[in-house]
A and B are shown apart, each in its own frame.
Chain A
Amino acid sequence: MNKLFDFLQSLKFTVLLLVLSMVLVFAGTLAQVDKGIWNVMDQYFRCYIALIDLPVFFPRDLNIPAIQIPFPGGFLLGWLLTFNLIAVHSQTFKVLATGGRRVAGIVVFALGVLVVVGVMFGWGTSSVAATEDDAFWRVFLRLGRGTLAAIALYAACVLLYRQRAGMVLLHGGILFLLIGEFFTALFAVEATMTIKEGETVNYLDRSQQLELSFTETSNPDFDTVTVIPQRLLKDGAEIDADALPFIVKVHHYMENSTRPQPLQSVPDQFKANYPQYEGFGSRLYIGESREVSGATGQRNAQAVDVELLERQTGKSLGRYILSLWMYPNFVNRSWEMPTNFTVDGKAYEAYFRFRREYAKAPSGNPYSIKLVDFVHEKYEGTQTPKDFASRILLVNEGDGVERELRIWMNNPLRYARRTFYQSGYLPDDGGTVLQVVRNDTWMIPYLSCMIVFVGMAAQFIQSFTRYLRRDV
């Protein structure tokens, strides 16, 4: 038992964990040939037990059986590395200073932590920050702040650990980076905003989550929207929402679906088992499809095959196929395909869409973004894009914000604890797609980068000078 305990706090265990991480990262990279990046992330990295698909290690035409091998996942390895790091350090690196030096070290350390916290929460930066300056200055400024924190912490480490200061600092930096990424994995939110030129939009598409929405449009003054979240859409589930006069029965949930095509153009073998749908499904073929490959910029178009049932009798009110392909923001507004039907004299419009989140500033007041103009430049004589830029009007009446701003490649806007990036454009340059990210720990990598750099550089310079002094 003692032996095991010794092993767990030894460098041997560190090496073992690092080797396991390498295998995991390697497998997770190869897996992206077959799977979308978000699924790979969930299956390999953002979990405690990963299931590695055996075929990823072999050429795909060998037809290796699809065995899943349980393997320590990213979170588990992260935690083990953290504990191992702390264990090894508490064993080998004891605080060497005593008396006044020790007190001074602790004071400087507290000061360093204060700088870190200040930098993390952006003390001294404005609330609406459009970055009109070059990436160069912006990033240097951030790294400069990180360096400030790193130097303060290094001073503390020198006071406390003397010649081992660099080692302690660099591992502290790694730990900080791991913790930051753990929080990002748990709490960061990615969304998009699709805006046509001249249009004002007040909601975000949470692109990692989906929902089935039913909008009742019979009242001229307001619409009533009922949404069913993705997690309830399991094969065979019957969803009975009070706000709806019908039950939604899920026949099949598809991770990816084919682009809609006219039913008559589809070969017969696909049509044979094709359900009798109402709505678009009666004219168009939308079938299940293999997942798209990794970060090719493509993404899966999930779909659900649902049937509406009368609540009392259980009688069918029609079977529908609802796919992301029908949602305008998924197809960059190329088309709109709302599924319309009437139940009990009430008209409904249904979509299977990204989870919708209405834009709200931290003060609780809603805000909206209007696209004033979109510019897309190409290199002369080619189709290679040179620059995209959106000129937008940001309005938040409650907080008295009304500003015209420019968002373009590598120059995002920071507002309401979110960052708005220029990400894509609509056909014929008729509008813009903004990537909207909320990640409160986004400054941690800047900080830990500099902390590790300072620690590592100090350590290596120290060993190098020792090497030169000893032998020359």
Chain B
Amino acid sequence: MKRTIINVLVVLFALWFFQTGVKPEMEAADEFQINAFAHLPVKYEGRKKPIDTLARNLLTVLSGKQTVRNDTGERIDAVTWLLESISGTTNAANYKVIRIENLDVLTNLGLEERKRFRYSYLEILPSLGKLDAASRAAFAKDSRDRDTYDRQVVKLANKLYSFQNVLGSFEDPSSVPGEQLMATAQRYMQLENYSIPLIIPPNAGNDRWRPLMSSLLSAHPAMSSVAHEHDISVDPLAIHMGVMLAAYREGNVDVFNQQLMEYGAQLQTANPEVFEKVSFEVFYNRFSAFMKAAQIYLLVFVLSCFGWLFRKEGLLSAARILMIIAFIPQTFALIARVFLSGYPPVTNLYSSAIFIGWAAVALGIIIELGFRKKAGGIGNLVGGIAGFTTLLIAHFLAGDGDTMEQMRAVLDTRFWLATHVITVTLGYMATFVAGTIGVLYIIAGLFTHRLDEETEDGMFRMMYGTTCFALLLSFVGTVLGGLWADDSWGRFWGWDPKENGALLIVIWNAIMLHAKYGMMVKHRGFAVMAVFGNVVTAWSWFGVNQLSVGLHSYGFTDSASFWLVMFCLSQTAFCAIGLIPSNRWKSGATQ
């Protein structure tokens, strides 16, 4: 009875936790209808998305967060910040949104080091020329010769350029004097060669997405004669958008809201399809299931640790329920990504982290539900820690921009993404799960009395089973990758770094099984080998990208290298302490 009440409370808590922040605050009729603005569609980086997503991604790229604080410390959401920036309010350039961590870069730009490392556009403005020169110099070097400073400078400059391009695409040319019109037009044409937000959807007047500034240019008074001659019609949507932004700049709520209504209504009649999926994506953004699930999984892990160590079945069962509940929104969000992007779940490093975590939690749940007696909470522990860490990794990887980017031509084959990538990623997952159990085995055996004979045997069997599974998946996945290469460019195996990384995982799993069959290791040795499997897998997952070679390099960050090295060192340390003679183990002599 008591347990039922606790479980009901746990469920209620989880439900409450997941619904927070989904519903936006109500806006009064005399306030800016920011929420409606956030729902407008825009095409950026090749994908149609709501302005909400554009704002969040842009802000994440610049500052690493999805909100920003103004001078009074009040939290401003991404859409409001973007609206202020593109409409050009006087305050817009004061937001401290540009994150610069590298001290050499800061010194070179004449900026003081400060807490949180975030600077406003206005502060950087005086040294933009210097930054530009430094980044050009760095870019001219061979990629192998660039040092940390060079890479940071290039990265910062690229961020600022893309930010400037976004701002430029929302420029209002109506105040440009007539004689500068030609130059402005030329500038706009150049800008259109870059990746910029295309805010005006296809409608009766034109058949493709257009950026605001070019659409407004044809509405310029001095252009009217030319426009008439060349039959360039002024896009009414562009006018509404232009007026809307101007109204926001001047703080005119009524005009803004009225223009927004007009814009939405006209777009609805002209091209209703552009609103497809847009509202859903805003909901997906606000739901932010991954971040919330990560926090729940951490709780699951902590609860399970206590429950497992002290054999408290109540704690374990509460943790199990929490894990299952968090798994549902996580699964939903995973499917939502597939629906929104139109691609199978794994397309880049970010989504591979999400997917590995999801599959590890699923495996944890299967272990718990299918083999509850033998597992005794191991499934909780694995699911909790794997779910938490992978989602945390994903959170840091999201700083590169849109996580649902369009695929380059060579990778654009949904079939291969759905087979090879999924299989190989599941292989990574299984190796990590075996390794996690290995770490738990070593810690529990060395520092606690928890690892009795039965637990020890159960954990070994789980590791062994998962390793078999890992070998099967990583072998088939790797060969499928080769078949993709054979099918796309006629080379089954090219010793490309990413291929080699996957091969190393296959070989390592094969070594583990052969060592076991050949009686070279027993349970403890197998656990130590499983932990080393973590190192091998982490290296192929992230390490090969750090080599910055190969056709597969789709992720690169400096701090990633640091954490990768840290992770590998920590796992090697676990291996080392796992080799401490078993008479020193608290749990006594193990096999």
Contacts and interface: CB of A to CB of B under 8 A. Distances in A.
Contacts of A190: 490-491
A261 B197 CA distance: 38
A388 B549 contact: no
Interface in B363-393: 374
A381 B551 contact: no
Interface in B531-575: 544, 547-551
B547 A33 contact: yes
Contact of B487 (A22, A28, A37, A410): A410
A380 interface: yes
A128 to B, nearest CB: 17
B530 to A, nearest CB: 15
A460 B497 CA distance: 30
B500 interface: yes
Contacts of B501: 29
B549 A293 contact: yes
A15 B144 contact: no
B497 A32 contact: yes
Nearest to A16: B511
Contacts of B488: 409-410, 412, 421
A423 B510 contact: no
B475 A442 contact: no
A177 B479 CA distance: 10
B183 interface: no
A47 interface: no
B549 A296 contact: yes
B520 A12 contact: yes
Contacts of A184: 492-493
B490 A14 contact: no
Interface in B284-306: none
Nearest to B547: A33
A383 interface: yes
A40 B496 CA distance: 10
Contact of B518 (A12, A34, A464): A12
Contacts of A384: 45-46, 406, 408-409
Given A293-B549, A383-B195, A442 B495 contact: no
B198 interface: yes
Contacts of B504: 22, 25-26
A349 to B, nearest CB: 32
A463 B489 contact: no
A11 B517 contact: yes
Interface stretch (A130-138, A198-206, A304-312): A130-138
A380 B514 contact: no
A282 B468 CA distance: 65
B471 interface: yes
A41 B488 CA distance: 21
Contacts of B143: 293
A381 B479 contact: no
B507 A25 contact: yes
Greatest chain A CB density within 10 A among B196, B469, B500, B547 is at: B500
Given A33-B547, A381-B43, A382-B46, A15 B492 contact: no
B141 interface: no
Contacts of A26: 500, 504
Contacts of A385: 408-409
Contacts of A456: 471-472, 475
Interface residues of B, number: 66
B514 A467 contact: no
B99 to A, nearest CB: 25
Interface in B426-483: 461, 465, 468-469, 471-472, 475-476, 479-480, 482-483
Interface in B117-169: 143-144
Interface residues of A, number: 70
Interface string B4-20: 00000000000000000
A126 B590 CA distance: 62
A84 to B, nearest CB: 10
B549 A33 contact: yes
Interface stretch (A331-339, A397-405, A444-452): A444-452
A21 interface: yes
Interface string B500-515: 1101100110110011
Nearest to A138: B487
Nearest to A46: B495
B549 A453 contact: no
A186 to B, nearest CB: 14
Contacts of A381: 43-46, 195-198, 209, 211
B486 interface: yes
Contacts of A22: 504, 507-508, 511
A296 B503 CA distance: 20
A446 B476 CA distance: 11
Contacts of B507: 18, 21-22, 25
A327 to B, nearest CB: 22
Contact of B209 (A380, A410, A437): A380
A449 B490 contact: no
A439 B479 CA distance: 17
A288 to B, nearest CB: 15
Greatest chain B CB density within 10 A among A139, A383, A412 is at: A139
Contact of B475 (A10, A435, A452): A452
A18 B510 contact: yes
A30 interface: yes
Interface in A407-450: 409-410, 412, 419, 421, 423, 435, 437, 439, 442, 445-446, 448-449
Nearest to A444: B492
B416 interface: yes
Interface of B: 43-46, 143-144, 193, 195-198, 208-209, 211, 374, 406, 408-410, 412-413, 415-416, 461, 465, 468-469, 471-472, 475-476, 479-480, 482-483, 486-497, 500-501, 503-504, 507-508, 510-511, 514-515, 517-518, 520, 544, 547-551
Top 10 A-B pairs, shortest CB-CB distance: A11-B518, A379-B46, A437-B490, A294-B549, A385-B409, A449-B479, A136-B415, A29-B500, A382-B46, A18-B511
